[in-house]
Amino acid sequence: MRYFFIIYALLAVLVVSIGGFRGEKFKQTPIRIFPDMDEQDRIDPQEGSDFFHDGLGARQPVQSTLPQGLEPADLADENTKTFTNDNSYYHTGMFDENVFGNGLPVEELGLNEENLPAFIKRGKVAFNSNCAICHGVSGNGKGVVASYGVPGVFNLIDSTLPDGGMYDVIVNGRGNMAAFGYQIDVKDRWAIIAYLRALQYARKAPLEQVKDAYEASAAK
């Protein structure tokens, strides 16, 4: 067995010394043991393309669609191709630079008492499909992934972050948690936070606050 490891180590050194040092310039055709996707059928930034009738490689956004997380610069112009992402609380979770705010941006989300339950349900769908795998369906940090040994998955029921802080974690990620800014649009991020608050409330609300509702549902 020992010889096997020695031969294995020598072979590894050999492979690395032949294949690994590729940094110098030379004129001969290189020996390509690892092609590293050197040649790709792709269009670089600013490059033209014969494929499209206008000769441009980069495409304009499809009419009436929005890039994820951005808003049209001019709401009145349906065909606008300019999109912005301002520094508002709605887009950053911060009131000032580096100060996380608390509360949902009710106005931007167009929330009222009637549509709030639907909004929270929307958050539930987004939470269950994006977050529950790690944080668990109840948010307790015991999702499927955690049971396979990913350490430190946070119990969101105990989270003391303000809403803006949660928003920031969703957009930019933290530690072992990836950023979700590209997958989840602005409205759904806030919906997830609303749902998380509902989950926390379901576990932690003081008895007096939920007593009536509990008794009413138990009597049914």
Interface residue list for ligand HEC (CB under 6 A): 130-131, 133-135, 145, 152-154, 156, 159, 161, 166, 169-170, 174-177, 180, 184, 192
Single-letter code of the amino acid located at 182? Y
Q: Which is nearer to ligand HEC, 80 or 130 (CB)?
A: 130
Q: Which is nearer to ligand HEC, 26 or 148 (CB)?
A: 148
DSSP output for 87-120? SSHHHHSEEETTEE--S--HHHHT--TTTHHHHH
Classified as helix, coil or strand, 130 is helix
Altogether, the residues listed in the chain come to a count of 220
CB of 197 to ligand HEC, least distance (A): 11
Q: Which is nearer to ligand HEC, 104 or 131 (CB)?
A: 131
Of 90, 86, 124, 85, the closest CA to residue 107 belongs to 90
Q: Which is nearer to ligand HEC, 80 or 159 (CB)?
A: 159
Of 217, 166, 161, the closest CA to residue 193 belongs to 166
CB of 101 to ligand HEC, least distance (A): 15
CB of 99 to ligand HEC, least distance (A): 17
Enclosing H/E stretch for 186: helix 186-204
Q: Nearest-CB residue to ligand HEC?
A: 175
CB of 98 to ligand HEC, least distance (A): 16
CB of 179 to ligand HEC, least distance (A): 10
Q: Which is nearer to ligand HEC, 156 or 194 (CB)?
A: 156
Residues 164/89, Cβ–Cβ less than 8 Å: yes
